Amino acid sequence: MIKQSEIDIIRGKELFCNDLPSKPLAKLGKILITGASGYIGGRLIPELVARGYDVRLMVRGNIEAYQAIWPNLDIVEADALNVEQLRGALEGIDTAYYLIHSLHLGPQEFEAADITVAGNFRTVAQEQGIKRIIYLGGLGDKRIPLSSHLRNRIEVADELLMGKVPVTILRAAIIIGSGSASYEIILHLVTKLPLILIPRVSINKCQPIGIRDVIKYLVGVLEVPETCRHNFDIGGRDVLTYKRMLEILANIQNTKTAIILCPLFTIRFYAYLASLITPVPNAITQILMKGLKNEVVCLDNSIKDYIPFKPLSYAEAIINAMNREDQEKVYTRWSDAYPPDHELAIKLNELDKDVPYTTKYSLITRKTAFSLFTSICKIGGKEGWFHSNWMWRLRGALDKILLGVGTSRGRKSYFQLEINDVIDFWRVEDIKQNRRLLLRAEMKLPGKAWLEFNIKNGEDRRKLSVMAYYDTASYFGKAYWYILLPFHHFIFKKLIDAIERRS
């Protein structure tokens, strides 16, 4: 997520809304951004802040991390499943952006959760006298059978509309931008494979839209009050088949990937293959790729009457996304959203007992804490794990086959790490500058695991250590630990040697 301190630097060059035809509204009350930890919400924050709005962020966890990034913003911790917490979040709010989505719960659970949450939000928003809700949902014609995901996006809109608070609905198809799951799926398929077999439904049409245009419309409808109580389809300049989208990206990347329609397998199978090859896990590829069966094209273009600007073409949106990746400016990513009640979200210091299995490797060095820490923080992603990379990759590949997250999620930025960032199959649980990096495992494991890097300062030397923690109750879990212990001994020892050497 972009830092408040960075806004001044990027003002004038990088904010998406600089050329928006609407002007900031001077007398608007407080604006709530729900889903602030998510892909869209995270991109909306700097735009509204830079335009001078009084913004409150709603997050479900890690509030300290968001406070560190946005020290001057009002940030509340609330789960929309909890009505009492929602009351606190919506108190004193004028306009609320509704950007909550439970996709990360996976195909079995997301629908019910999203409907319950929307119902709670509608009730509490009405009770608190909110003047307006702005919701970004999905395109789709509800008169025809839709995929569960597209249907759910429309049902959420219907749920919000049942209340008395006026709602503005924006409906988008695939959003193309650095960090978007759909973009990463297409990009990795095209760049990693010489031949892509795609399902027959890939000849259906879609109207992808660039992330910057989505954000412009989100801010634009806020600033044009006449859009209140309206439902708008938003899309980019091109209507393309999914197949053509792959071909255009292959062309931009200058790859010779052959893209062939193959009606032999189910979408479920294609989605599984996509999850093996791309950074996006199976739970999400399944939900998104089932949407291929529906055409998602804007049926109504009335948004242009209210917020007139020329949206990007698909190719322009792709090139923008690539540029931002190259320049290390991926401020939010699909992997940022992370339910705090996720079965793996338990923190090391929240365990109600000592961790039963630990192993530690240390060395003494004269290198500075700064250089050691900088070296630690480069771990994973394209850089790899400094030693025995093939072992980490093998573990990642096994994880993917078992429907885990694998190592291909990589990391959002090569230079920066923040709490909650993903590093391959780990997630950052704690960072103390020049002292500690604590990672929590998200791969498939018969237990829970953490990896901690520590630097202790002595008079003229430092002690650098890496410590693995593991908690399990099952016999299989215990066997797993002992079987891997010799490998850990080798990998972790080599790892801290390499960190020290590269410092």
Ligand X SMILES: NC(=O)c1ccc[n+]([C@@H]2O[C@H](COP(=O)([O-])OP(=O)(O)OC[C@H]3O[C@@H](n4cnc5c(N)ncnc54)[C@H](OP(=O)(O)O)[C@@H]3O)[C@@H](O)[C@H]2O)c1
Query: Under the rule (CB under 6 A), what is the footprint of ligand X?
Result: 34-35, 37-41, 60-61, 79-81, 99-104, 117, 136-138, 153, 172, 175, 180, 182, 334, 337-340
Closer residue to ligand X, CB minimum distance, 117 or 267: 117
CA distances from 245 to 100, 187, 321, 335 (A): 27, 10, 14, 23
Pairing of strands 357-365, 231-234: unpaired
Pairing of strands 167-172, 231-234: parallel
Closer residue to ligand X, CB minimum distance, 91 or 383: 91
487's enclosing H/E stretch is helix 475-502
Min dist CB 285 to ligand X, Å, is 13
Contact (CB, 8 A) for 456 and 441:
no
Min dist CB 198 to ligand X, Å, is 19
Closer residue to ligand X, CB minimum distance, 99 or 292: 99
Closer residue to ligand X, CB minimum distance, 77 or 247: 77
Min dist CB 366 to ligand X, Å, is 41
Q: Which residue has the tokens 């290198």?
A: 367
| CB-nearest residue to ligand X | 38
Closer residue to ligand X, CB minimum distance, 47 or 79: 79
Min dist CB 80 to ligand X, Å, is 3
What is the largest distance, in Å, between two alpha-carbon atoms of the chain? 73
Per residue in 453-480, is it b (16+ CB within 10 Å) or e — as a string? Answer: bbbeeeeeebebebbbbbbbeeeebbeb
Min dist CB 85 to ligand X, Å, is 8
Q: How far apart are CA 235 and CA 216, in angstroms?
A: 12
Min dist CB 297 to ligand X, Å, is 14
Q: Which of 221, 218, 240, 217 is nearest to 229 (CA)?
A: 221
Closer residue to ligand X, CB minimum distance, 128 or 359: 128
Cα–Cα–Cα angle for 309, 101, 243, nearest 5°?
60
| Cα radius of gyration (the chain) | 23
Min dist CB 443 to ligand X, Å, is 19
Q: Which of 43, 29, 62 is nearest to 321 (CA)?
A: 43
- The CA-to-CA distance between both ends of the chain, in Å, stands at 27
DSSP structure string for 396-415:
HHHHHHTTS--STT--S-SS
Q: Which two structure tokens, joined as six digits, stand for 368?
A: 């500075």
Contact (CB, 8 A) for 426 and 395:
no
Closer residue to ligand X, CB minimum distance, 160 or 376: 160
Closer residue to ligand X, CB minimum distance, 102 or 375: 102
Min dist CB 156 to ligand X, Å, is 7
Q: Which two structure tokens, joined as six digits, stand for 67?
A: 């406070």
Min dist CB 339 to ligand X, Å, is 4
Min dist CB 129 to ligand X, Å, is 21
Closer residue to ligand X, CB minimum distance, 17 or 89: 89
DSSP structure string for 108-144:
TTHHHHHHHHHHHHHHHHHHTT--EEEEEEE---TTS
Closer residue to ligand X, CB minimum distance, 61 or 236: 61
